[in-house]
Copies of this chain bind each other. A is one copy, B any other.
Amino acid sequence: MTKQKYINPELESGFRDYLPEEMIVRQMMCDKVRAIFERFGFLPLDTPGIEKEEVLTGGDANFTKQIFRAGLKGGNENLALRFDLTVPLARVVSLYQDKLPRPFKRYQMGKCWRGERPQAGRFREFMQFDADIVGSARMSADAEIISLMYEVMTELGLKNFLIRINNRKILNGLSDFIGYDSKSNADVLRIIDKLEKIEWDGVVKELKEVVKLDDSQINKLKQFLDLRELSSAEIINKISQLMSNSIVAMEGINELVEMTKNISALGVPEQSWKIDLSIARGLGYYTATVFETILTDLPSIGSVFSGGRYDDLVSRFSAQNIPAVGASVGVDRLFVAMEKLRLIKKSKTFVKAVVLNFDKEAEDYCQKIVTMLRKNNIDSEIYLGKEVNLKGQLSYALTQEIPVVLIAGDKEKQTNTVQIKNVVSREQKEVHFEDVVKIVEKLI
């Protein structure tokens, strides 16, 4: 006999399985989000996980490091796994221009992959769930996305959240306002974006080291960032005075004013959002409105639903300029948050009833019972495991937390009856076959 070498079933780090206990509630959450997206008129789209590498990176070598390449052994295709759903959306919009509605409101849910260093709560494969409006330059489109976010958060039962809103044009105006080369803008934004993590002292240090700002310039930036503490209305008021020398900033301020008027008309209450001038949102492609959602009870978890306007993305594929705005649910983060806030209770099963199956002579009768339950839309099963006696099978029902147990042996088969046990109250009664559905429905 040769000794068999077994293959290790552990996953590579950065990847994970979702067992039923987690998947059941995860799916409930995603189903709810999807229903709201649909109620807002977003239509479903699906695109492949594998795309041509140049489609994904746009030729930008910075991306290449983080991208999972995909290929056949010996093949020389330049294929890779998508790292988000926004780039594929841009590709779809440029490829099927005549087939898509204008504007195109779409949602998409799917796996994405990034070669990040695995760390707590960060995975190399993750679920992305996006809603975007492509082909509308109206600020009411941005407002619609924020209204959608508000509705999702509220219907998921989250009460203490804040949607923080900004406009990248205001940030782009910082170079005019403070007086530095606009080429340094990306660096300045990246540093500001870290404000919550590294605090003001850290920001000052990086601004001096990386962008070489002097004290008076840093002071002006502080003036700007200090407005954060004010109310949204006060911020608009002050910033319009402060940055009046920057054409681009004033454009952003006007857009922000219009957008926030729109979200009020869409029924988003004032306490759910706030202008926050420090919000930049990391990714390069945002061009105007940006927003993120934090949970005020769990600020450390970061944004759970964020996005913005990106008016240049389709230009990678064609000469057209198609404006777009959208947001992405952080499915994993949101799930973790809802668990911590006890808004989600994991459950082992949704099965409501199990028919035990311990008497070979009565198995056909048990199968008739479970078939009847299913025909009446009751999620149910017949015991199919190894345990042969009643006690062992009952303990399966208990472990699996199935609330109703139906028991039928040869005696019950002969008399056309069933023993129905309420696992919670421990009550048990004998009922006629015809009454089984009615009684089970009362118990679940």
Chain A residues within 8 Å of B, Cβ to Cβ: 4, 6-12, 15-21, 23-24, 26-27, 38-41, 43-52, 54-55, 58-59, 64-75, 77, 79, 81, 91-92, 94-96, 99-103, 105-106, 111, 113, 115, 124-125, 133, 135-138, 140-141, 143-144, 147, 151, 261-262, 264-267, 316-319, 348-351, 354, 357, 363-365, 367-368, 370-371, 374-375, 377-382, 384-386, 396, 399-400
Contact = CB atoms under 8 A, between A and B. Distances in A.
A30 to B, nearest CB: 11
Contacts of A365: 265
Nearest to A72: B115
Given A10-B95, A59-B7, A125-B49, A140 B363 contact: yes
A58 B379 contact: no
A123 to B, nearest CB: 9
A386 B125 contact: no
A81 B68 CA distance: 11
B70 A70 contact: yes
B262 A367 contact: yes
Contact of A68 (B54, B71, B317): B71
Contact of A19 (B45, B375, B377): B45
B135 A262 contact: no
Contact of A55 (B7, B54, B144, B319): B7
A230 to B, nearest CB: 25
B101 A367 contact: no
B95 A48 contact: no
A262 B46 contact: no
B45 A371 contact: no
Given A39-B374, A101-B400, 12 more contacts: A10-B95, A15-B48, A15-B51, A18-B46, A49-B49, A68-B70, A72-B115, A101-B348, A136-B386, A144-B382, A261-B364, A267-B367
A384 B115 contact: no
A144 B46 contact: no
Given A50-B113, A75-B115, A147-B371, A135 B11 contact: no
A372 to B, nearest CB: 9
A116 to B, nearest CB: 10
A20 B7 contact: no
Contacts of A349: 41, 43, 101
Nearest to A104: B20
Contacts of A66: 72
A54 B106 contact: no
A335 to B, nearest CB: 12
A350 B38 contact: yes
B45 A265 contact: no
Contacts of A47: 17-18
A140 B70 contact: no
A385 B45 contact: no
Contacts of A351: 41, 43
Given A17-B48, A92-B17, A379-B41, A69 B67 contact: no
Given A38-B379, A77-B12, A92-B17, A367 B43 contact: no
For the complex of A and B, 4 pairs with smallest distance between CB atoms = A41-B381, A265-B364, A20-B43, A265-B367
A102 B385 contact: yes
Contacts of A21: 99
A111 to B, nearest CB: 6
Contacts of A137: 386
A392 to B, nearest CB: 11
Nearest to A125: B48
